[in-house]
Chains A and B, each alone.
Chain A
Amino acid sequence: MSTESTNQNNLSEKKDFLVRSSSLKDVRNFSREVFEKFKINEDLREELVLAIAEAAQNIVKHAYRDFPDTQDRMAVRISCSDKELEIAFFDKGKPVEKSKVKHRAIDDVKPGGLGTFFIQEIMDSIKFKEGDKPWINNLVLTKKL
Chain B
Amino acid sequence: MTYKVTDEGDTSTVFLDGEIDMDKTEGAKEVIFPLIDAGKNVNLNLSNVQYMDSSGISVLIESHQKALEKGTKLIIKDVSKSVLKVIMMAKLEQILNLE
Interface residues of chain A, those whose CB is within 8 Å of chain B, are: 21-22, 24-25, 28, 46-47, 49-50, 53-54, 57, 60-61, 106-107, 109-112, 114-115, 117-118, 121
The residues of A that contact B91 with a CB separation of less than 8 Å are 106-107
Q: Does B95 contact A (CB under 8 A)?
A: yes
Judge whether B21 and A53 touch: CB under 8 Å.
Answer: yes
Interface residues of chain B, those whose CB is within 8 Å of chain A, are: 19, 21-23, 51, 53-55, 57-59, 61-62, 65, 82, 85-86, 89-92, 95
Q: Which one, A28, A60, A61, A117, contacts B90 given CB within 8 A? A: A117
Q: Which one, A46, A47, A57, A106, contacts B22 given CB within 8 A? A: A57
> Residue among B21, B61, B95 with the most chain A CB within 10 A?
B21
The residues of A that contact B92 with a CB separation of less than 8 Å are 109
Query: What secondary structure prevails in chain B residues at the interface with A?
Result: helix
Judge whether A50 and B23 touch: CB under 8 Å.
Answer: no
Query: What secondary structure prevails in chain A residues at the interface with B?
Result: helix
The residues of A that contact B65 with a CB separation of less than 8 Å are 110-111
Judge whether B62 and A111 touch: CB under 8 Å.
Answer: yes
Task: Determine the distance from Cα of A57 to Cα of B59 in the docked complex, in whole angstroms.
Answer: 16
Judge whether B90 and A57 touch: CB under 8 Å.
Answer: no
Judge whether B58 and A60 touch: CB under 8 Å.
Answer: no
Task: Determine the distance from Cα of A112 to Cα of B59 in the docked complex, in whole angstroms.
Answer: 9
Judge whether A57 and B21 touch: CB under 8 Å.
Answer: yes
Task: Determine the distance from Cα of A73 to Cα of B65 in the docked complex, in whole angstroms.
Answer: 36
The residues of A that contact B59 with a CB separation of less than 8 Å are 111
The residues of A that contact B89 with a CB separation of less than 8 Å are 118, 121
Q: Which one, B21, B23, B53, B58, contacts A111 given CB within 8 A? A: B58
Chain B, Cβ-Cβ closest to A114: B54
The residues of B that contact A50 with a CB separation of less than 8 Å are 51, 53, 86
Judge whether A61 and B53 touch: CB under 8 Å.
Answer: no
Known: A54-B53, A106-B91. A112 touches B58 (CB 8 A): yes
CB proximity of B12 to chain A, nearest CB, Å: 21
